[in-house]
Amino acid sequence: MTPKPVADAEGMDHLRWQCSRCAAFSPVGDLRYACTRCRWSGRLTLVIDYERVGAGRPPADVLLTDEHSLWRYARLLPVGMDGGGSRRVRSRYVAGWTPLHRADRLARRLGLGRLWIKDEAANPSGALKDRASVVAVADALDRGRNVIATASSGNAGAALAGAAAAVGLRCVVFVPRGTPATKVTQISRYGARVLVVDGDYDDAVRLSTAACRRWGWYCRNTAYNPCTAEGKKTAALEIVEQLGWSAPDAVVVPVGDGNILVGLYRGLCDALAMGWIDRMPRLIGVQAAASPAVHRAWAEGAADVSPAPARTRAESINVGEPQDGFRALAAVRDTAGLVVAVEDEEIFAAVDWLAAESGVYPEPASAAGAAALPALVARGELGSADRVVLLNTGSGLKAAPSAEGGSAVPVAADLRAVAAIGITEAAETGSEADLDEPEPKW
C-alpha cells in the first residue's frame, strides 16, 4: 500500500521524486515506493534543487558540521531534519561517518597509485546497510507507522532491526532459507521477528512486499523504497569529504541488488552538482560469477537486467533478480565504469589477503571487490597512477560460526503462512482478498 504523506513536509519543497523509467515527478512527501505510472517497474530517484540548497558555496556552509554521522548531509536527504523521526533516530542510532583507511601495503602489492578502504563495518550493526535503514526508519516514524519490515540476506535485516529497536518500532525481517545463523541471531537479538522463508532471497523480497501491502507495514525493501539509495549515498559524500573534497579515480563496489552502486552514484552526482568535486570517479561493480545477473547484462550491452541463477556462497550478493539493476547499469555507464565478475574461490581467498595486508576484515560479499583488483590491474583498467577506493560493506565477523541463541520462525513463501504466525494484529488496512492479489510488476 502507499504510505500516508508526511504530515509536515515544510522545508522539503526543493526535493522531488522522479521515476527512473518514465521520468514522472511526485512530491517527496508522497513517497510511493516505486512509480505507479509505469506499472511499478520504475525506481524513484531524488531530484534536488541544488541552487536552493547552496550549490557553489563552501561545503561548511551547507553541511551540519556538528553531526559526525550521515545526518551531516541532511539537506540532501529526503527526510526533514525538523521531523520527529530524524530527531529520534539520529540521537539513538548513530550511523555513518565511518573511517577511510589508507592501504599502502596493499596498493604496492597490487600496483596501484593509492588505495583506501571505506570501512562500513564501523556502523552500529557492522554493515553499510545501517545508512539505508536509519533513513527509512526516520521516514516511517514521520509517517506514523508502527511496524517496519524488510527482506534481507542478513545485513539489511540486522541494520533495520537495530535501528527499529533504538526508536521502539516493531520490526519483521524475512530472510531466505540458508541465511547464516550468525546473522539470524543478530537480527533476533535486536527483538525483530525473523521469518525464514522457504525459498531464496528473491522469494523473500516478494513475500515481504506482499505482506507490507496486505497489513500496512512500512516497507524498507532495498531499491523498492527509494530512501535506501538515498541513505547509502552518504558513503560517497563522506569519501570525497575525507579525501579533502577531491574525487578518487575509481570506486570499487560489490554488487548484488545494485542499490549500493546506485547510492554511491547518487552521492557523487550530488557532490558534483554542488561544486564540491570537479569530476566523477569511475564506478566499478563486482559480482560473483555464480550470481551474475548485472554482469551478464553489462557484458551483453543490455539496458536492463534479466534474472540469472544465483548460487554464490557470498550470500549477501547472492541475488538472482536484482532490484536496482536498471539504475546500476546506467550509473556504471554514466561514469565510464564497468562491471566484472569473480569466482567464489577468488572471493574467499581475498577475505584472507585483504585482512592480512590492510587490517580490515571483510565478509565474503564485501571481499568480492578486493578479489577483482588483481585482474583489473592486469587488464590495465587500474594502474600505478590511479587513486582507488575499495568499499568494505560488512564485517567478516558476520560470516563467522554462529553464536548460540536467537529465534526464528520457518515460513512458507505464502501470505497465509505469515498470517498464521499471529504477528499481524496491528494491521492497518487490507482484506482477505489481498492474500490472492497478484503482485505488482516492479
Per-residue model confidence as pLDDT tens digits over 137-153: 999 999 999 999 999 99
The predicted structure's pLDDT at residue 401: 57
331-350 confidence digits (pLDDT tens): 999 999 999 999 999 999 99
pLDDT at 437 over 70: no
CA distances from residue 181 to 56, 97, 407 in whole angstroms, order as listed: 49, 29, 10
pLDDT at 109 over 60: yes
Give backbone dihedrals phi and psi of 115, rounded to 5 degrees, phi first.
-135, 130
CA distances from residue 259 to 104, 144, 342, 382 in whole angstroms, order as listed: 29, 26, 19, 24
Question: In Å, how far from its chain's centre is CA 136?
Answer: 11
The percentage of the chain sitting over the pLDDT mark of 90, rounded to a whole number, equals 81
The mean pLDDT value for 166-191 works out to: 96
The predicted structure's pLDDT at residue 6: 54
409 pLDDT tier (thresholds 50, 70, 90): confident
pLDDT at 13 over 70: yes
pLDDT at 31 over 80: no
pLDDT at 241 over 70: yes
C-alpha cell at 96: 555513518
The predicted structure's pLDDT at residue 190: 97
408 pLDDT tier (thresholds 50, 70, 90): confident
4 pLDDT tier (thresholds 50, 70, 90): low
Where is average pLDDT lowest: 3-12, 104-113, 125-134, 181-190? Answer: 3-12
The predicted structure's pLDDT at residue 164: 98
- Residue type for 121, please? A
190-218 confidence digits (pLDDT tens): 999 999 999 999 999 999 999 999 999 99
The mean pLDDT value for 13-40 works out to: 85
436 pLDDT tier (thresholds 50, 70, 90): very low
The mean pLDDT value for 413-442 works out to: 60
The interaxial angle of helices 155-167 and 84-92, nearest 10 deg, is: 110
Give Dmax (Cα) for the chain: 62
The predicted structure's pLDDT at residue 37: 81
- Mean pLDDT, the chain, whole residue set: 91
The interaxial angle of helices 84-92 and 129-142, nearest 10 deg, is: 140
Higher pLDDT, 407 or 320: 320
Q: Domains of the chain (ranges plus CATH)? A: 100-126+227-399 (3.40.50.1100)
The predicted structure's pLDDT at residue 30: 79
403 pLDDT tier (thresholds 50, 70, 90): very low
CA–CA gap between residue 352 and residue 349 (Å, rounded):
6
CA–CA gap between residue 103 and residue 112 (Å, rounded):
10
Angle (CA) 89-92-94 rounded to 5° is 85
pLDDT at 405 over 90: no
Secondary structure class of 440 (helix, strand, coil): coil
Contact predicate 201/176, CB 8 Å: yes
Contact predicate 49/14, CB 8 Å: yes
What's the pTM value of the predicted model, to 2 decimals? 0.91
The mean pLDDT value for 71-92 works out to: 89
The mean pLDDT value for 95-112 works out to: 98
Where is average pLDDT lowest: 227-236, 322-331, 415-424? Answer: 415-424
Give backbone dihedrals phi and psi of 46, rounded to 5 degrees, phi first.
-75, 125
The mean pLDDT value for 301-320 works out to: 96
